[in-house]
Amino acid sequence: MSLEDCIRAAADCGALGIEVIPEQSIPGYPHLTDEFVDTWHGWMQRYGTHTAATDLFLDTKRHPDRWLTLEEQVASIRQDVDIAVRLGARIVRAIINTSPEVMAAAAPYAEEAGVRLLLEVHAPFHYEHPWILQHLEVMYRTGSPALGLMPDMGTYVRRFPRVVSERALRDGAKPELVDLVVRTYDEHGDTHALMDVVHYRGGGPADFGLARQATHYIWSEPKAMLDHMPLIGHVQAKFYEMTDEGVEYSIPYDEIVPVLVDGGFDGHLSSEYEGNRHVQDAFPVDSVEQVRRQHAMFARLLGEQDPVLPGAGQTTTGTGSI
């Protein structure tokens, strides 16, 4: 699919807010030609869409021999803020490795540009974690309107994704060990020593991989977002599998959406499909259909008859993202 195909497909789903990863979708990044920018806005007009957000990366390890300085990191953020502005986005995803100091130092520039820098709260982080607490401290202390949070719903994985466990079985994992991992995760048991136990039970690489996965997913109560609603400007609606029944297998959006509604959230739920990589070995991947189903689910949970809703379809439907 071309970039235009992605935008058209999102619009067809009724997902009119487009989130884009410039480093993925714009050859020549960080240099955007005027021609590309014109084309982009032409697409937005043609398909009735708008730019909901851009996603920045922060290459602190750009050089082989040294870390970027604070100034260089801030310059990288500024560059991405400029790109967001040219593409018409008011929101920029700050990747999880962005430090609180860099956020603080970049905030005035973003504020002046009319852009919000939202730290992606990605698994295994949560609102009590020291790293997030340090970010919150900066956000509350500076009170900068340019800083905020972008929760990734991969932080609310209540059930182990079956696309992942079924893939492990296809890769040769032992059924009883897959069952142990899935059960331990689903009961929110102690995944700390799960790799050890899988090993004591004779597990191989596929079993290990699965046990390691179980330590990467997390579940916590979505209501925790209510404490930080003024900071939450955008949501990355991570998902692994929209079933034929139109629900996400692992992530309880029927609990998440009401929390966001209660909290007065009026931003985008931006689709982030991460099941493709787990099924591509055995099944045709239909990312567009998966995104379509997710948006139909959002419409249902929001009580909308009309499937046109403020949700955004990421342009990255065919690929992974953090």
Partner 1 sequence: MFDQYIVCEEGFRARDDGRAGGVVEVRMPYYRGLTLSMVEAVDLVLDGRPVPPADTTLTVHGNTYAPDQLGRTTDDRWEMGERAQLAFLTDEPLAPGEHDVAVAVRLRISYMPVPGGGRDRKRLTLAS
Q: Which does 320 bind (CB under 5 to 8 A by kind): Mn ion, a copy of itself, partner 1, none?
A: partner 1
* Strands laid side by side in the 15-20 sheet: 147-151, 116-121, 91-94, 50-55, 15-20, 309-314, 269-273, 235-239
- Tell me how far, at minimum, the Cβ of 72 lies from a copy of itself, in Å: 13
The dihedral built from the CA positions of residue 277, 257, 11 and 7, taken in this order, carries a sign that is negative
- Using the minimum distance from each CB to a copy of itself, give the nearer residue, 99 or 319: 99
CA angle (294 as vertex; 291, 297 as ends), nearest 5:
155
- Using the minimum distance from each CB to partner 1, give the nearer residue, 79 or 142: 79
Q: Which residues, at least 6 apart from 129, have a Cβ–Cβ distance to it below 8 Å? A: none
Phi, psi torsion values for 142, nearest 5 degrees? -75, -25
Q: Using the rule CB under 8 A, is 214 a contact of a copy of itself?
A: no
Candidates 184, 276, 294, 314: give the one binding partner 1 (CB under 8 A): 276
Residue appearing with tokens 């607490």: 133
d(CA 7, CA 289): 14
- Using the minimum distance from each CB to Mn ion, give the nearer residue, 184 or 287: 287
Q: Using the rule CB under 8 A, is 35 a contact of partner 1?
A: no
- C-alpha of 33 from chain center: 27
Q: Which does 236 bind (CB under 5 to 8 A by kind): a copy of itself, Mn ion, partner 1, none?
A: Mn ion
Candidates 4, 8, 29, 302: give the one binding partner 1 (CB under 8 A): 29
Q: Using the rule CB under 8 A, is 205 a contact of a copy of itself?
A: no
- Using the minimum distance from each CB to Mn ion, give the nearer residue, 152 or 207: 152
Q: Which residues bind partner 1 (CB under 8 A)?
A: 21, 23-24, 27-29, 57-65, 95-97, 195-196, 198-200, 208, 276-277, 280, 316, 319-322
